[in-house]
Amino acid sequence: MTWLAATPVLVPMVTMVATALAYKNPRLQTALSFLGVLAFLVCALALVAVAHQDQAAQTVFGDWGVPYGIEFAIDRLSAAMVLMAAFMGTVCLIFMLSDADTGSRHPMVLPLLHGVLCGAGGAFATADLFNLYVWFEVMLVAAMGLFALGGRVDQLDATFKYYVLNIFGTLFFLMAVAMVYAATGHLNYTALAQAIPYLSTGMMTLLAVGLLLSFLIKSASFPVFAWLPASYHTLPAPVLALFAAILTKVGAYAVLRTMGDIFAGAPDFIYVVLGWIAVGSMVFGVIGAAYHWDIRRILAFHSVSQIGYILLAVALASQAGHAAALFYILHHSIVKANLFLIAAIIWRLSGDYDLRRIGGLYKAQPLLAVLFFVMAMSLVGIPPFTGFWAKVLVVQETIAQGQIAWTFFALFVGMLTLYSMAKIWMEAFWKPHPNPSWRAPQVTQLGPAWIASLGLAVVMLAISLYPQPLIEYAQAAAQTLGVP
């Protein structure tokens, strides 16, 4: 199974090149792009199937020995993340066929989209710290391209802020990698996990904090989340949904991989600090969201808040916590991406993202209202939706570890999340449109948007009603973490 481990990079990369070459022919470009993403999806499913039989797909490039060559190893955690990226890529490409805020038809949109998938796939697949840095950079450059492509001045402004704040994370990461190599002489995850227990506590703390700081910037957690709410709302909807599903999750995955796997025996106070950082993200994200009236900005702040839950699960530093983190990442990707897609449908029907200028959608589109309601309740954590199971897994473990303050904040923030979702519900769906002569547009091209959004909703409902297989998968994934 050596070739399979390289597919998360190879397939999107080939698709990226193919779509870039076909830039003169938009139809061919779209067809190639679907072909590529479906191949990616098939490979991701195969990776999950292989990983679930405890035979992680693994390859070492150039036939070097294991700790020296660049290794790609896809265990259950990585396989689940790759599958999530491939699935979200497919959904966003389908959504792009609609006319709901899909942005300019620039010939470079599709190649760059596959570039983001390639970077994310590489980051999930690799088992080498420096290689992870390379994939972070690939993702950063492709994402900046997508930010800037629209060419509106606010988009350029957002790109600049995204670049400046993210590059700090990348530079920290590069310096941390240098220190890790100087201290241990290894870059491979497995070799590092074996070498790190022999380091002094001070050195271990220095290395873990260096890596953690960079990944916290990438995952947009408190207090370094400023780049996310400053930039996300300028993106066209399908790209925004993909970023919401993947970009910060790569950071969260890296935190889980370092703190839960490589540095599994790091000093306890790092996990305590991480836990309070997570609480800060949860609280400040949700308060930021309460202020805003633009649906995209509300949802962007909620991304910060939800990342807090994932980090809190990692900070619990136990198998149950790691399983909860994986479950939460998957839940949040599906739900948050779909909420952004629904926001784009709202925009198409009512003409604006700002809640003060729209309304009356419950009467005009009851199905959309139900769709939004279900996804919003899942984000809040109302049973029986995925958000409930994800929060149960996290809160169960905080209570089991006697972390009463963290439990309180986790539940309290859920309540504040309900406030924001109720605000969108009241303003966009319930109240009449501020302009009495408003009518929903008759001629729209929303078919693909509905397919994408309903598809995500069906997946969410399936996991809600049968959470056990996914929970068991997450628990099995957590068992292999932190065991060199």
Partner 1 sequence: MIWLLALTIWITVTAGVYLVLSRDVFRCVFGLGILGSAAVLVLFASGRLEGMQPGVIPLGETALGAATNPLIQALTLTAIVIGFALICFSVVLALRLIQRADTDDVLALRMSEPIPTEPVKPPYNGADHEPVPPASAGATKLEGVA
The binding site for partner 1 (CB under 8 A) comprises 99, 101, 103, 130, 133-134, 137, 140-141, 144, 148, 152-161, 163-164, 167, 171, 174-175, 177-179, 181-182, 229-231, 233-234, 236, 291-294, 297, 347-348, 350-354, 356-358, 433, 435, 437-441, 443-445
Nearer to partner 1, 257 or 433 (CB): 433
Nearer to partner 1, 34 or 160 (CB): 160
The torsion angles phi and psi of 259, rounded to 5 degrees, stand at -75, -30
Nearer to partner 1, 179 or 392 (CB): 179
Q: How far apart are CA 286 and CA 264, in angstroms?
A: 30
Nearer to partner 1, 230 or 476 (CB): 230
Which of 478, 456, 443, 26 has the alpha carbon at shortest distance from 259?
478
Nearer to partner 1, 131 or 333 (CB): 131
Nearer to partner 1, 143 or 395 (CB): 143
Strand-pairing partners, residue 72, are 59, 126
For residue 434, the minimal CB distance to partner 1 (Å) is: 8
Name the DSSP letter for residue 24.
Answer: T
SS3 category, 152? coil
Tokens of 452: 């994408």
Nearer to partner 1, 187 or 283 (CB): 187
For residue 364, the minimal CB distance to partner 1 (Å) is: 12
SS3 category, 73? strand
Q: How far apart are CA 227 and CA 163, in angstroms?
A: 8
Query: For 298-449, where are the E strands, in sequence order?
Result: none
For residue 78, the minimal CB distance to partner 1 (Å) is: 22
Q: How far apart are CA 311 and CA 316, in angstroms?
A: 9
338 within 8 A of 457, measured Cβ to Cβ: yes
Tokens of 21: 């070459």
For residue 217, the minimal CB distance to partner 1 (Å) is: 14
Nearer to partner 1, 50 or 204 (CB): 204
SS3 category, 25? coil
For residue 423, the minimal CB distance to partner 1 (Å) is: 12
Q: Please give the helix or strand (H or E) that residue 246 lies within, else none.
A: helix 237-255
Nearer to partner 1, 167 or 272 (CB): 167
For residue 343, the minimal CB distance to partner 1 (Å) is: 12
Nearer to partner 1, 9 or 83 (CB): 9
Alpha helices (H) in 22-105, listed in sequence order: 26-52, 76-96
Nearer to partner 1, 217 or 460 (CB): 217
Q: How far apart are CA 446 and CA 99, in angstroms?
A: 6
For residue 126, the minimal CB distance to partner 1 (Å) is: 14
For residue 28, the minimal CB distance to partner 1 (Å) is: 23
311 within 8 A of 258, measured Cβ to Cβ: no
Q: How far apart are CA 308 and CA 278, in angstroms?
A: 4
For residue 432, the minimal CB distance to partner 1 (Å) is: 13
Q: Nearest 5°: CA angle at 343, between 147 and 12?
A: 45
Q: How far apart are CA 380 and CA 458, in angstroms?
A: 18
Which of 13, 19, 12 has the alpha carbon at shortest distance from 41?
12
| Alpha-carbon distances, residue 185 vs 32, 72, 136, 177, 180 (angstroms) | 43, 19, 22, 11, 7
Which phi-psi region, left, alpha or beta, contains residue 455 (left: φ > 0; alpha: ψ -120 to 50)?
A: alpha
112 within 8 A of 146, measured Cβ to Cβ: yes
Nearer to partner 1, 76 or 433 (CB): 433
For residue 444, the minimal CB distance to partner 1 (Å) is: 7
For residue 137, the minimal CB distance to partner 1 (Å) is: 5
